[in-house]
Amino acid sequence: MKSRHLIDRGDSVTAALSGGPDSVFLLHFLYKTANIMNLSLSAVHLNHKTRGEENDADEAFCRDLCKSLDIPLIVDSCPVPARASAEKKSLEEAGRSARIELYHKAVANRPRARVATGHNRDDQAETVLMRVISGASPQGLSGIRWVYRGFIIRPLLDTGKEEILNYLHREKIPYRQDSSNEDISFMRNRVRHQLLPLLKESFNPRVVEALSRLARTMSLEREYLEEMTGPDMARATASMKDPGAVDANVISEIHPWAAMTILRNTAITAGVDIGEMSLHHGLCLLDLINGPSGRSIQLPGGFKARREYDRIVISRHNPLPAIPAPVEITLPGRTELPGWGIAVTGTYMDPPDDLRIHKENEVFLDEDSAPPGVYVIRGRRPGDVFHPLGAPGKRKLKDFLIDRKIPRHRRDQIPLLVKDDEILWVAGLEISEKCRVGRNSRRVLKAEIEMLDK
């Protein structure tokens, strides 16, 4: 832990405690280390609600163990099967995300806090082998990281399972056995109980150590690549408001391998699980650099990467909501439109001093120039035309939105202020030349949009 700078003297460390041999060994190890390193030690346990009474017995065991060692324990529960079904994830994915949420709670508002997990050298070998089978990139072959998300540490990655079990048996330290670890319907269990034993017996008795060395080598390569691409990463994200976005023009100028590293790191920042990203995903991300705007690819975990003009954006894919129905509004006055998530307010006022100024959510309209009828907020329709302020004439609304580089998936979600089917304001973008306010305008309507609280 000291050589890899996983903890410093005086840190707060929370052990992730399942009750299994690895986590029990980890807790005892940290318990003996706490005095040496002046650590503030606690533990956390999640009841996954996957094995009924067996889960409850695991929880009771963890409570008794922490009580015997006088270690504070945080216990939470999550019906992981229900969560997996609701989020369309596997049990493993849902359980992992539930645990990480609990780890965040455990360190919240605690400076220099860490969560330690019991991943060991055999887990590392299994992970690397699974990623080889799935066609992972070299970065993926770096396996389980010693430090994850900046606060989750894995002190046992150089410690073998056999060493752990031998210690527990020698010291007569009890632990729990998870029956689901024998279920070979899970890929990891097939690798653990079938593939690795075959490789040990028929090919290399030290295959676990060999796979761990591979992980270490690829980890060093990953660290070097991330360090070397740091300046380019900074340039590619400097003007981006979205943490899952990069400037496609910047990364098109650098070596493809460096560009792939930046795109993969951006995907991880957006929330994609590095372990599920293969080399194929990385190559598909590279294709977006020179692809047309609107092209997209699927990434693991329900994420999507898409080219949006000069940007590549990575985000969780959510089906687009339906275009809300048209709503008549009263101006002047205030109307809330829950379907759009906005409120529209209109007031009469004097012309502004600077007639050129229009804010994103606030515009001035010459009402006398507007057609008769009622004001309506609606979405775009096929064949819509619009006369932008200062333009020589009308043009297709679709072409106007393309020129403004509005991504295709956002165009249907832009509210339009319409009167007698004439578009007076494309909200957030531009007003119509027809309603331009001049010095001689008599009735100036200030229209403003605000977001409703969810």
Residue 320 — pLDDT band, cuts 50, 70, 90? low
Assess whether pLDDT exceeds 70 at residue 318. no
pLDDT tens-place string over residues 28-39 = 999 999 999 999
pLDDT at 63 over 80: yes
CA distances from 362 to 358, 359, 391, 452 (A): 6, 5, 20, 16
User: What is the C-alpha to C-alpha distance for residues 297 and 281, in angstroms, rounded to an integer?
Assistant: 9
| Lowest-pLDDT range of 310-314, 339-343, 437-441 | 437-441
pLDDT of residue 110: 83
Q: What confidence tier does 90 reach under pLDDT thresholds 50, 70, 90? A: confident
Separation between Cα atoms, residue 170 and residue 172, nearest integer Å: 5
Between residues 256 and 406, the one the model is more confident about: 256
Beta bridge partners of 40: 12
Radius of gyration for the alpha carbons in the chain, expressed in angstroms and rounded: 29
pLDDT band at 437 (very low <50, low <70, confident <90, very high): confident
| Residue 113: predicted pLDDT | 93
- DSSP per residue over 293-335, as a string? TT-EEEEGGGEEEEEETTEEEEEE--PPPPPPPPEEE-SSEEE
Task: Report angle CA 61, 63, 66 to the nearest 5 degrees.
Answer: 105
Q: Averaged over 238-261, what is the pLDDT?
A: 90
Ramachandran angles phi, psi of 132, nearest 5°: -60, -45
**Please, which pLDDT band fits residue 339 given cuts at 50, 70 and 90?**
confident
Residue 213 Cα distances to 64, 121, 124, 143, 217, angstroms: 38, 10, 10, 10, 6
pLDDT attached to residue 428: 86
* pLDDT band at residue 424 under the 50/70/90 scheme: very high
Residue 196 clears pLDDT 70, i.e. is over it: yes
The residue written with tokens 């009924």 in the block is 52
Considering only 122-136, 142-156, 270-284, which range has the smallest mean pLDDT? Answer: 270-284
pLDDT of residue 84: 87
- Domains of the chain in start order, with CATH, are 12-212 (3.40.50.620), 229-316 (3.30.465.60), 327-451 (3.50.40.10)
- The pLDDT assigned to 377 comes to 93
d(C-alpha 381, C-alpha 286), whole Å: 34
pLDDT-wise least confident of 50-54, 98-102, 320-324, 377-381: 320-324
Please give the DSSP secondary-structure letter assigned to residue 22: H
Looking at the predicted structure, is the pLDDT value of residue 454 above 60?
A: no
pLDDT band at 186 (very low <50, low <70, confident <90, very high): confident
Mean pLDDT of 113-139: 92
The pLDDT assigned to 341 comes to 86
Mean pLDDT of 409-414: 83
Pair 206, 125: CB distance under 8 Å: no
Of residues 234 and 316, the one with the higher pLDDT is 234
Q: Which phi and psi (to 5°) does residue 356 adopt?
A: -90, -15
Residue 439 has pLDDT above 80, yes or no: no
User: Is 299 a residue whose pLDDT tops 70?
Assistant: yes
Average pLDDT over residues 214-240: 90
| Rounded-to-integer distance, Cα 13 and Cα 15, Å | 6
370-408, pLDDT tens digit by residue?
888 899 999 999 899 999 988 989 999 999 988 888 877
What number is the average pLDDT over the span 131-143? 85
pLDDT value of residue 357? 59
Q: Which of 440, 237, 225, 448 is nearest to 351 (CA)?
A: 440
The fraction of the chain above a pLDDT of 90, given in percent, is 52
